[in-house]
Amino acid sequence: MHRKPIVIIAGQAKSVFFEIFFKSLRKKKIISPIILICCFNLFKINAKKNNFRNRFNLIDKNVGNIKFSKNSLNIIDIEYKKSSNKKIQLKYDNEYIVNCFKVGFKIIKSKITNKFLNGPINKEKFLNKKYLGITEYISEIFGDKKTCMLIYNKELSVCPVTTHLPIKLISKTINKSLIFEKLKIIDSFYKENFKFKPKIAVTGMNPHCESILKNNEDRKIVMPAIKLAKQKKILVYGPFPADTIFLKQNRGRFDVILGMYHDQVLTPIKTLFEYDAINITMGLPFLRVSPDHGPNEKMINKNLSNPQSLIRALEFLDKS
């Protein structure tokens, strides 16, 4: 069976990406061809450091001239100004990350493949507060603002209605239409990619879905959104108190839990599965995934980083 290549952006140079990348390829056989977009000097230095001896193939970054090998690791060289043939100066270089993304996006837009993975990136330094996260950055570039973050594990996944918003802005941002939109995206993504309709639980916005205020968002916003989604034949239930929905007897009834804000659902999912989950952006015209963790800068050169999330990301794209 012909498999489309997986395009991988190595992410920021100051990260544990190469360590977990080389560990992943040793632990898991990936059948799909891989096109790795990174600084070739960084790759060579890290390959030597991590005793990685697999074959690799340097290819042209001009999309019209791309000829990738199916049997070796394909690399597109992007200049990283903080490197040389002999040493690496691990400093932030946003221009390098942007240039890597540009080449990756050209490949995606050329229809060579629909599989895209980016390595860890320090959102605060890279996005400079212009975007809430990499999800929003990629979504705007492709003109698909109706997207959704899914932290995926085949046993249970979660999706936050809002991503990296300060707490004080959450209740001002969430409305019936936004919740309904996320439910539609989840339902559509699961049917298209996993071939089944997911059972979705929705958390309340307030503790115990109750409020001492007259304006109870769970009654006025969350419940009407759920009712509308049910009318559209989406298998949705709730709202449930966020402090009990993740109990074993409760979470086992659902495929996805939709929460109102980032930590409401990401804290329990990471407690349950740690690195055994991946970040998927639903709603894009291609499959975009990333490991569910950051650059982990304090662990650089310690050879202690866990590659499990990257392995799961590669597995997901390899099977797609």
Are both 162 and 120 inside the same structural domain? no
Cβ-contact 96, 13 below 8 angstroms: yes
Q: What is the pLDDT of residue 120?
A: 93
Nearest to 178 by CA among 240, 235, 225: 225
- For residue 73, CA distances in Å to 101, 314, 319 come to 19, 14, 18
Are both 159 and 259 inside the same structural domain? yes
Are both 184 and 160 inside the same structural domain? yes
Are both 88 and 206 inside the same structural domain? no
Are both 142 and 131 inside the same structural domain? yes
Q: What is the pLDDT of residue 84?
A: 56
d(CA 36, CA 73): 7
Are both 129 and 17 inside the same structural domain? yes
Are both 132 and 180 inside the same structural domain? no
Are both 86 and 166 inside the same structural domain? no
Cβ-contact 162, 174 below 8 angstroms: yes
Are both 289 and 264 inside the same structural domain? no
Q: What is the pLDDT of residue 87?
A: 59
Q: What is the pLDDT of residue 145?
A: 77
- Total domains in the chain come to 2
Q: What is the pLDDT of residue 83?
A: 54
CATH number of residue 224's parent domain: 3.40.718.10
Are both 158 and 234 inside the same structural domain? yes
Within 91-246, strands assigned E span 115-118, 148-152, 157-160, 200-203, 236-240
Cβ-Cβ contacts under 8 Å for 260 (sequence gap 6 or more):
160, 161, 162, 170, 174, 203, 204, 205, 222, 242
Global pTM reads 0.93
Q: What is the pLDDT of residues 181-204, one digit of tens each?
A: 999 999 999 999 999 999 999 999
For the chain, residues with pLDDT lower than 50 are: none
Q: Is the bond into 224 cis (omega within 30 degrees of 0)?
A: no
13: domain range?
A: 1-146+284-320
Amino acid in the structure at residue 72: S
**Residue in this structure with the two tokens 């970054």, named with its chain if needed:** 61
d(CA 249, CA 254): 10
Are both 289 and 142 inside the same structural domain? yes
Are both 171 and 271 inside the same structural domain? yes
